[in-house]
Amino acid sequence: MSKDPVLQPTVSLKKNLTIALAGNPNCGKTTVFNALTKLRQKVGNYPGVTVEKKTGRLELSRGRNLQVVDLPGTYSLSVRTPDEEVAREVLLGRSRGTPRPDLVVCVVDAGNLERNLYLVTQIQDLGLPIIVALNMMDEVKSQGRQIDVKKLSELLGVPVVSMIANQNKGIDDLKSLLEQEIKADYTRRWRMSPLLEEDLEAMVQVLIDKGGLTRPEAFFESLMLLSSAAHIPDKAYAQHHHIMFSKEVIDELNQINARLVRQGVRARSAAIEARYEWIKFIVKEAVIDTLAKAKNWTHKIDTVLTHKVWGWVSFIGLMTFMFYMIFTIATYPMDWIDSTFSHLGAVVEQSMPEGDLRDLIINGIIPGVGGVIIFLPQILILFFFIGLLQDTGYMARAAFIMDRVMNKVGLHGKSFIPLLSSFACAIPGVMAARTIESPKDRLVTILVAPLMSCSARLPVYTIMIAVLIPQASAWQKSGIMLIMYLLGIIAACTMGWIFKKTLLKGQKPTFILELPPYRLPSFKSVILQMWERSRLFLKRAGTIILTLSIVLWALMSFPRQDNVEPAEALRQSYAGKIGQTIEPVIKPLGYDWRIGIGLVGSFAAREVFVSTMNIVFNLDEEAEETTLRQAFKQAHWPDGRPLFTPLVCISLMIFYVFALQCISTVAIVLRETNSWRWTLFQLLYMTVLAYVAALAVYQIGKILGFT
Amino acid sequence: MSDSEKNYRLLSNLKVGETGEVVEFVNESALSQRMEEMGITPGEKIEVVRFAPLNDPIEIKIRGYLLSLRREEAELIKVKIS
């Protein structure tokens, strides 16, 4: 009955092989990748999608060099998520810029063998030589089970290496296997019903003979067609799979489909069930119960951490702790960075001759770059905690606990951590949204994340509160702060809900989420991950910030005015002209052109508002808060009305709650969405929201008789 | 209703600690295929381990590992109570 030819792909000993690492999420694939490549890694993106592409080099004996491609972790290759699509395209050799791998190392969580083998059977069908790396063997033991590795290897028809990658056990075995010639004698052992098998084979033949596909490709596409609703490649299918079929092929497929319908067989899930049946058999043969008592740590921990009461207590406690650490620990390096940069400015001032270049460096580049670097400690600590939450398995529990709440606004439980992180800084928040599989949910999360009040807004809130209520008590201050934070949260939820209902309408997000066993984190991989993410941020934001700092400096310094007061020079500069030009637009919010300059300047970063205001009101750069407050108090409109009335202060604070005044966030969103359209959309909607809200507050306030 | 039919229920109606055997999906869709790919296939033993603090989603055990589903997803799975 079997018409499948025996696939005998062989890996020769040619010098520059490419191997791909594949595996389910939570199987320890990253640990294996790190152990194989050490730090010889490169992180980038796959063309056209925002899936991270990680490659590394593995040096073997006799000067052999392997390129290792770390595929995104997926449960299957059915192309429902961008991750799966990338994995499939790479494995079929259709991904631009990535050679088809000569060999696939499938990392398998031995403690979760059945589900992990599902992907292995799919990859086997692609006709590539495979090594199975049976990871986390220690967990099998504590489950009271044992795996007969030899038997497993026989049944699968591929070499199997057992390992505990986080203890560096088995890595050398894998390496020495990679030194040898790998052969794969693979015959497909899973079978659907004879009728379906016949139809499948007919489809495969059509795709090979008339569609020009290779056998593995044809087999894979036929299976995909069989599992799709219509069993024929319609336009959507073709687009999704990057495959165009001729009319002839479609006609023939239509005939096969008609036969399928006549036969009345259930085809859509037949392959999935057949694979699992085969896996069940393998597991029955190769897994032995040792009768040792199983240790169920995860269950005991979860009894507390997802408890109706203690679950909330520990969840809120953990999040509070995380933020406490971010805001306390981070202040030390932040002060240090701050003083280093001002010291640097002083050194440059003394050692360079006066002139535009010196001015550019001290007033443009150093404060601009320093303004970004200063947030690096917070970003690092946040990434550290995110890595820790992910590695221990708590991240999935946080999503499990919060999903009901997030579901109310149409979001996914996994959106919670990115949104929460954005309270410290939107950048790690936006980057943390990568864990959300559904592209639409991920985009919504990214779009609303910067509405959460980040720490860069604090200096603006602080100065405005000081002007608003000079002798404010701690309670009044924190009360107003709290209102600002709440406004951000409400806006994020509302906008998220609106986007889900309109622009990004789609299927309700599903919540099929694995809750992996709790595991001790590997600090090495957490630190590595933290460093990688931060480097990405610095690289991307750094260049844009540098450019923009220079532009802003130029706007505020030219045309040059001699012998005038700094404030007057600023008034006549390009920035001053911009401020005056936009005055009619911002006047309804209660702002004059001087505040306008602050708004323009703080587009680089929100806290720049304060330093720009210092220049505008003719103060030293390092002016004390009280003096700036007094300068604000004395500022007047030309007709003598005070400028910073309470209503204007509130209107300004509201503006800063909603406006996307942060070029680093724009840069990161562009990187993460890979789309100028969405990046500009976000900038636009947040600016409009900020404008309308500030306008409403000021105008309604005036009508109600406030000043 | 025969005795055997009484034993069929939707997964969403199971209490914590109850186990059953997957019978079928109420309707076939991309979503049901995804659940099958995660190992929820007919004939397989399934256990409701716990509910989330707000009662939704639910946590199940299938093929020896833990998976969480929303209630509306669990409504698609017909199980036979053992």
**Is A306 within 8 Å of B34 when comparing Cβ atoms?**
no
Please give the ipTM for the structure prediction: 0.94
Q: Which residues fall within 8 angstroms of residue A521, CB to CB, at 6 or more apart?
A: A387, A388, A391, A392
A2 confidence band (pLDDT: 50, 70, 90):
very low
> Nearest C-alpha of chain A: how many angstroms from B15?
16
Residues of B whose CB is below 8 A from A266: 28
What residue segments make up the domains of chain A, in order of their start? 10-183, 194-264
With 0-12 / 13-18 / 19 or more C-beta atoms within 10 angstroms meaning exposed / middle / buried, residue A112 is buried
**Is A308 within 8 Å of B53 when comparing Cβ atoms?**
yes
**Alpha helices, DSSP H only, in A620-675?**
625-634, 646-658, 663-673
Most confident of A373-377, A475-479, A500-504, A667-671: A667-671
**Is B31 within 8 Å of A510 when comparing Cβ atoms?**
yes
> Nearest C-alpha of chain A: how many angstroms from B2?
26
> Nearest C-alpha of chain B: how many angstroms from A82?
15
Residue A401 has its nearest CB partner, among B36, B53, B70, at B53
B75 confidence band (pLDDT: 50, 70, 90):
very high
In this prediction, residues A242-247 reach a mean pLDDT of 75
Identify the domain containing residue B76 by its residue range: 3-81
Decide if pLDDT at A239 tops 70: no
Q: What's the mean pLDDT when you consider all of chain B?
A: 91
In this prediction, residues B27-51 reach a mean pLDDT of 93
Q: What is the DSSP letter of A165?
A: G
Decide if pLDDT at B22 tops 90: yes
A626 confidence band (pLDDT: 50, 70, 90):
low
> Nearest C-alpha of chain B: how many angstroms from A388?
20
The half-sphere exposure of A352 on its side-chain side, counting CA atoms within 13 A, is 15
Residues of B whose CB is below 8 A from A306: 50, 52-53, 59
- With the C-alpha atoms ordered A385, A390, A392, A394, is the resulting torsion angle positive or negative? positive
pLDDT tens across A306-345, in order? 999 999 999 988 888 887 887 788 888 888 988 898 888 8
**Is B72 within 8 Å of A405 when comparing Cβ atoms?**
no
> Nearest C-alpha of chain A: how many angstroms from B44?
10
Q: What are phi and psi of A132, to 5 degrees?
A: -95, 120
Residue of chain A nearest B29, judged by CA positions: A229
- We report the CATH number of the domain holding residue B21 as 2.30.30.90
CATH superfamily of A10-183: P-loop containing nucleotide triphosphate hydrolases (3.40.50.300)
Mean pLDDT is lowest, of A376-390, A621-635, A647-661, for: A621-635
Closest CA to A117 of A76, A154, A69, A80: A76
As a whole number of angstroms, the distance between CA A106 and CA A121 comes to: 10
For an interface test with A, give the residue of B22, B66, B73 to mutate (most A CBs within 10 A).
B66
**Is A269 within 8 Å of B72 when comparing Cβ atoms?**
no
Decide if pLDDT at A110 tops 90: yes
Q: What is the pLDDT of residue A48?
A: 65
Residue A510 has its nearest CB partner, among B34, B39, B53, at B34
Cis amide prior to A129 (ω within 30 degrees): no
Decide if pLDDT at A618 tops 50: yes
Residue of chain B nearest A307, judged by CA positions: B53
pLDDT tens across A273-315, in order? 999 999 999 999 999 988 777 778 899 999 999 999 999 999 9
Residue B52 has its nearest CB partner, among A403, A512, A517, at A403
Closest CA to A512 of B50, B43, B39: B39
- Element (DSSP H or E) covering residue B46: strand B45-51
A262 confidence band (pLDDT: 50, 70, 90):
confident
Residue B34 has its nearest CB partner, among A112, A508, A512, at A512
> Nearest C-alpha of chain B: how many angstroms from A510?
7
Decide if pLDDT at A678 tops 70: yes
Residue of chain A nearest B24, judged by CA positions: A269
How many CB pairs below 8 Å do chains A and B form together? 111
Q: What are phi and psi of A435, to 5 degrees?
A: -75, -10
CA angle A561/A624/A601 to nearest 5° reads 45
B29 confidence band (pLDDT: 50, 70, 90):
confident
Closest CA to A46 of A108, A88, A106, A104: A88
A134 strand-pairing partners: A108, A162
Residues of A whose CB is below 8 A from B59: 302, 306, 400, 515
Q: What is the count of structural domains for chain B?
A: 1
Residue B65 has its nearest CB partner, among A112, A269, A299, at A112
Residue of chain B nearest A310, judged by CA positions: B53
Q: What's the mean pLDDT when you consider all of chain A?
A: 85
pLDDT tens across A586-611, in order? 999 999 888 998 888 888 778 778 77
Decide if pLDDT at A620 tops 60: no
As a whole number of angstroms, the distance between CA A218 and CA A226 comes to: 12
As a whole number of angstroms, the distance between CA A39 and CA A105 comes to: 19
Q: What is the pLDDT of residue A131?
A: 94
Q: What is the pLDDT of residue A240?
A: 65
Q: What is the pLDDT of residue A487?
A: 92
> Nearest C-alpha of chain B: how many angstroms from A368?
46
pLDDT tens across A7-54, in order? 555 555 566 789 999 999 889 998 899 999 987 777 777 766 667 788
**Is A400 within 8 Å of B55 when comparing Cβ atoms?**
no
